[in-house]
Amino acid sequence: MSCSGEEPSSEGHNDAHAIHWGYEADNGPETWGSMNSEWALCTDGREQSPIDLTNAAMTELPAVDLDRPGEGEVEVLTQAGVINALDNGHTIQVNSKTGEKLAVGEKTYALLQFHFHAPSEHTVDGEHFPMEMHFVHQAEDGALAVVGVLVEEGAPNPGIAPLWAQLREAPGTETTVEIGDEFAEPVFPNVSSGAYHYVGSLTTPPCSEGVQWYVRRTFTSLSKEQIAEFTAVYDHNNRPVQQLYDRTLYRDDNPNVTIQ
């Protein structure tokens, strides 16, 4: 679910594909705002994503009240289930069909999709991670929230194989795969060192603003080989960091992301 892998693929707008935006010099981020009048925010917006995660204001994030209520918590429900994986020409995008939810305070968002960027779109103190995952959620009123998970090189994720199989298919090829705990547990371990939060945008056209971003401070890992498999097909499918302007970046170091 993210934002290049088409944010709600429902970011993913079909009209966006028709104009063939991408990450090369002639169709990349610097040109998006001029490619379509509806994408003007990509150039003119002042709440754009990604950003550099530094100089954050310490805070306590809004309370979550789901199965395990607790102050300052963001709860992500990761359930094994059947989903569609699609190589959409910009990344591997996984469309959720299993009812995962993200609850922040009294607002609940349904998981639409997740996708991958390499290198990471967000930076920490100016440094990129090898990859980043975006889990894109949407509330009933259309509001969007994205959970970002930074990926470092390390232990392999044993559940990535059915997704990476899409890398060998032509863009636009869709398949049904089973994603289980062997994928979810390494990505959302039941431990957390908190999260960054700010109000931003989709990171692909139309760069819509008002997106609630939660970037976990607990990283996940993929092996060097798994990262190389992805970057052999999608290298530099990341939007450069954007100016913060007058926004505030928040950081909560408490275990505010709980998993069920």
Q: CA 123 to CA 233: how far, in whole Å? A: 22
Q: CA 41 to CA 206: how far, in whole Å? A: 7
Of 147, 125, 126, nearest to 136 (Cα)? 147
H/E run at residue 252: strand 250-252
Q: CA 257 to CA 220: how far, in whole Å? A: 14
Which structure tokens are listed for 227?
A: 């990262």
Q: CA 154 to CA 156: how far, in whole Å? A: 6
Of 76, 106, 86, nearest to 12 (Cα)? 86
Is residue 70 within 8 A of residue 88, CB to CB? The reply is no
DSSP for 69-114 reads -BTT-EEE----EEEEEEE-SSSEEEE--S--EEEEBTEEEEEEEE
Of 90, 115, 134, 197, the catalytic one is: 90
Is residue 117 within 8 A of residue 237, CB to CB? The reply is yes
Which structure tokens are listed for 253?
A: 């170091």
Which residues partner with 110 through β-bridges? Answer: 101, 138
Query: What are the distances in angstroms from CA 175 to CA 31, 107, 132, 197?
Result: 32, 32, 22, 33
Which structure tokens are listed for 220?
A: 């996940």
Which residues partner with 123 through β-bridges? Answer: 52
Say whether 13 is catalytic: no
Q: Which residues are catalytic?
A: 90
